[in-house]
C-alpha cells in the first residue's frame, strides 16, 4: 500500500489539518515532559534532505523526532550527497549521478520517513543575472513528487516551490492560540512586504491556506501584479467559505489593515517574474516605503498580533518597533514549528 505523504496542504482536508494543529498544541502543553498519547518512534529514522539553507525547519524536524523517541539525520543535498536526477529516460552523462528511481527506494530501505526541502531560486541559477525556470514549470515541484512516487515511506515537504506545509501548520497552531481557539470569522491580513530580492510564494500560499482552513475573514494585501497563484487563491476561497470565512484582495497597504486581529507579513515575487534575470525579478524600489509594516500601520488594526515565518530583515519587512512590541508573535510562531513537526511525524510514522 502507498504511504500517505505530507506534500501539499491541498492533499489534506481542512478538518484533518485543523486536527493536526490541535494535536500539535496538545503536545505543546506537555512541554518537556512525556508526550501524552504520542506514538513511540524509537528505532525510527527520518532522513532529511536539504537543498536549501534552514534553521527552523531542520532543527524542529530533528527535535520532533527526538521528542518522539526516534532520530533524524540531515544531509545537505548537493554538497554532502550525489547530484540527483528526476527526468524520465535521460542519459546521465553530465552532472547528475543518482536517479530518484534508485534514491526513493533506497532511502525507504534505510529510513522510516523522508523530509525534503527543495525550492528553486525564482531567478534560477546562482549567478546574478542568470535566468531560471517559469512559475508554470517550477510549480509542478517535479523532484518532490518523483521522490514521493518512488518512496515506500512517508515523504514530508519541508518547503518546495509551491508550498511550505509545515510552516502552514505551525501558523495554524499559532492562530488557534492567538484567537483562544476561536479563529472563525476573525480578520486576518496577509500583507506583502518589500524585499530587495524576489522571494518564492511557497510560504504565503501555505499561510493563506492555514487561515482559510480556520474559516477566518482574510485579506491578501499586495501591490498590483503581485497576486498569488490563482489556483491556490481559488482553493483558499473555497476552503474558507466552507468554514464560514471569506477571502478578498486589496492593493491598499494601510486600509487593508482595518479591524485586523492578526497581520502576517511576507514578501513574495510576481509569478510572471519567475525565470527572469535577478535584477528584473526584484521588487521595484518605489514599492518600499508603502509596503513595510510599521507602528503606524499596526495602529490601524484592532490591536493585532504580528506574525512572520522568519527569518526576517528588520526595518525592511517590519520595523524594530513592530518586532519588539508585545503583540509580536514571531517567536511563538517559530516555536510552534517544533510541535507541528511532532504532530505531522506522529501522524505519518506512528
Ligand atoms: N520559516 C522557515 O522555514 O525557517 P527556516 O528557513 O530557517 O527553516
> What is the tens place of the pLDDT at every residue in 148-207?
999 999 999 999 999 999 999 999 999 999 999 999 999 999 999 999 999 999 999 999
- pLDDT band at 125; cut points 50, 70, 90: low
One domain for residues 62 and 178: no
One domain for residues 38 and 144: yes
Point out the ligand 1 atom lying closest to the alpha carbon of residue 310: 1
Asked if residue 18 belongs to a domain, the reply is yes
Asked if residue 3 belongs to a domain, the reply is no
Angle at 182 between CA 181 and CA 187, to 5 degrees: 125
**Of the candidate ranges 16-30, 88-102, 123-137, the one whose mean pLDDT is the lowest:** 123-137
Q: Which domain holds residue 51?
A: 9-163+337-349
What residues does 328 pair with on adjacent strands?
306
Give burial (CB, 10 Å; 0-12/13-18/19+) of 171. Answer: buried
Asked if residue 2 belongs to a domain, the reply is no
One domain for residues 176 and 103: no
Asked if residue 4 belongs to a domain, the reply is no
- pLDDT band at 94; cut points 50, 70, 90: very high
CATH code at position 200 = 3.40.50.1370
- Count of positions (residues) in the chain: 350
One domain for residues 182 and 330: yes
Ligand 1 center from residue 306 Cα (angstroms): 17
**Of the candidate ranges 236-245, 273-282, 287-296, 339-348, the one whose mean pLDDT is the lowest:** 273-282
One domain for residues 239 and 295: yes
One domain for residues 300 and 260: yes
Asked if residue 230 belongs to a domain, the reply is yes
Which residue's alpha carbon is nearest to atom 6 within ligand 1? 54
Residue 266 contacts residue 308 (beta carbons within 8 Å): yes
Q: Can you list the alpha helix ranges (DSSP code H) found in 179-316?
A: 202-213, 230-242, 278-281, 295-299
Residue 182 contacts residue 139 (beta carbons within 8 Å): no
Ligand 1 center from residue 240 Cα (angstroms): 26
What residues does 137 pair with on adjacent strands?
none
Which residues form the pocket of ligand 1, taking CB atoms under 6 Å from any ligand atom? Answer: 54-57, 159, 167, 309-310
Structural domains of the chain, count = 2
What are the cell numbers at 335? 516555536
Q: Percent of the chain scored above 90 by pLDDT? A: 93
Amino acid at each position: 500500500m502507498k504511504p500517505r505523504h505530507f506534500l501539499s496542504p491541498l492533499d489534506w482536508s481542512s478538518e484533518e489539518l485543523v486536527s493536526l494543529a490541535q494535536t500539535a498544541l496538545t503536545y505543546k502543553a506537555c512541554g518537556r515532559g512525556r508526550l501524552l498519547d504520542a506514538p513511540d518512534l524509537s528505532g525510527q529514522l527520518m532522513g532529511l534532505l536539504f537543498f536549501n539553507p534552514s534553521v527552523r525547519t531542520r532543527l524542529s524536524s530533528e527535535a520532533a523526532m527526538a521528542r518522539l523517541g526516534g532520530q533524524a539525520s540531515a544531509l545537505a543535498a548537493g554538497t554532502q550527497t550525489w547530484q540527483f536526477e528526476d527526468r524520465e529516460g535521460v542519459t546521465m552523462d553530465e552532472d547528475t549521478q543518482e536517479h530518484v528511481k534508485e534514491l526513493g527506494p533506497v532511502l525507504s530501505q534505510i529510513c522510516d520517513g523522508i523530509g525534503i526541502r527543495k525550492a528553486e531560486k525564482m531567478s534560477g541559477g546562482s549567478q546574478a543575472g542568470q535566468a531560471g525556470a517559469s512559475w508554470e514549470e517550477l510549480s509542478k515541484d517535479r523532484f518532490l513528487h518523483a521522490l514521493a512516487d518512488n518512496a515506500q515511506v512517508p515523504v514530508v515537504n519541508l518547503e518546495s516551490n509551491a508550498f511550505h506545509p509545515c510552516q502552514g501548520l505551525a501558523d495554524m497552531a499559532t492562530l488557534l492560540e492567538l484567537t483562544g481557539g476561536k479563529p472563525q470569522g476573525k480578520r486576518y491580513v496577509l500583507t506583502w512586504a518589500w524585499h530587495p530580492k524576489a522571494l518564492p510564494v511557497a510560504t504565503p500560499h501555505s499561510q493563506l491556506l492555514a487561515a482559510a482552513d480556520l474559516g477566518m475573514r482574510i485579506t491578501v494585501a499586495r501591490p498590483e501584479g503581485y497576486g498569488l497563484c490563482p489556483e491556490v487563491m481559488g482553493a483558499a476561497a473555497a476552503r474558507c467559505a466552507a468554514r464560514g470565512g471569506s477571502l478578498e484582495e486589496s492593493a491598499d497597504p494601510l486600509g487593508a489593515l482595518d479591524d485586523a486581529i492578526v497581520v502576517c507579513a511576507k514578501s513574495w515575487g510576481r509569478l510572471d517574474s519567475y525565470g527572469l534575470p535577478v535584477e528584473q525579478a526584484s521588487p521595484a524600489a518605489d514599492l518600499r516605503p508603502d509596503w513595510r509594516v510599521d507602528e503606524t500601520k499596526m495602529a490601524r488594526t484592532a490591536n493585532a498580533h504580528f506574525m512572520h515565518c522568519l527569518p526576517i530583515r528588520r526595518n525592511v519587512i517590519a520595523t524594530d518597533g513592530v518586532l519588539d512590541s508585545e503583540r509580536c508573535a514571531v517567536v511563538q510562531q517559530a516555536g510552534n514549528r517544533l510541535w507541528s513537526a511532532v504532530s505531522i511525524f506522529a501522524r505519518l510514522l506512528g
